[in-house]
Amino acid sequence: MNTHELVNIRKRIMFVKADDVYFIAYNLLISLYELKATSTSRPFRDYRKLSFLIDFVADPRLTAILQDSKRFGIPPNSEDRHELSVAYSRGASRMPHSMRVICALESRGILSIERGNQSEGFDLWLHVEKLPGGFLADELYEVERSNISTLRAMWPQLRIVRLDTMLQNFFGVNGVEAWHA
């Protein structure tokens, strides 16, 4: 096995999808776009919410758990609770990576960051025109668009609610303790 093959194997082993910058990037961009945070007057409040939101946008099963729980008022089973708990942990641990991706996107002028008035985190909005044409509308991201639409339908204030409120809605009411301050 040559050195190149060894490097490839190592990189493959070290690959963590959830923390991958492009994974974070496309989910984040689609979310902002679908939540219509596309101008300074409609910012997405508190970027930290995006770090937790990404898993739900990427995985329709997680969205379905929230949807079922909210629709029937029945707390999720232990397996689903476990899934939610893992999603919460991933959201929390993804936070620095998310910030890096946001910064990279800002440096390319794709979104703007602004210290919010009401929240501890930054507010941000998307510059759709800075994105390559057809990127956000590509059918490849159909699932993600559908998921964020579903979440928005459930919580129309998702764009502007506080991080605590969203965490309570996503995890707390479903039996997963959200300890994030």
146 binds other proteins (CB under 8 A): no
Judge whether 77 and 3 are in contact, CB under 8 Å.
Answer: no
Q: Which of 53, 58, 124, 151 binds other proteins (CB under 8 A)?
A: 58
At its nearest, how many Å lie between other proteins and the CB of residue 164?
A: 29
Interacting residues with other proteins between 64 and 103 (CB under 8 A)? 100-101, 103
Q: Round to whole Å and give the CA distance between 138 and 79.
A: 33
Which is closer to other proteins, CB of 111 or CB of 178?
111
Q: How far is CA 127 from CA 18, 33, 51, in A?
A: 24, 9, 19
Torsion on CA atoms 40, 130, 37, 146, rounded to nearest 10: 170
DSSP secondary structure string for all residues of 2-24: -HHHHHHHHHHHH--GGG-HHHH
107 binds other proteins (CB under 8 A): yes
Which is closer to other proteins, CB of 37 or CB of 110?
110
- What percent helix, strand, coil does the chain show, rounded to 5? 60, 5, 30
Q: Round to whole Å and give the CA distance between 82 and 93.
A: 16
137 binds other proteins (CB under 8 A): no
Cβ-based neighbour number of residue 25 at 10 Å: 17
22 binds other proteins (CB under 8 A): yes
3 binds other proteins (CB under 8 A): yes
54 binds other proteins (CB under 8 A): no
Q: How many residues bind other proteins (CB under 8 A)?
A: 32
At its nearest, how many Å lie between other proteins and the CB of residue 150?
A: 17
**Of 35, 61, 59, residue with least CA distance to 49:** 35
36 binds other proteins (CB under 8 A): no
At its nearest, how many Å lie between other proteins and the CB of residue 137?
A: 12
Interface with other proteins by CB under 8 A: which residues?
3-4, 7-8, 11-12, 15, 17, 20-23, 25-26, 58-59, 100-101, 103-105, 107-108, 110, 131-132, 135, 138, 140-141, 143-144
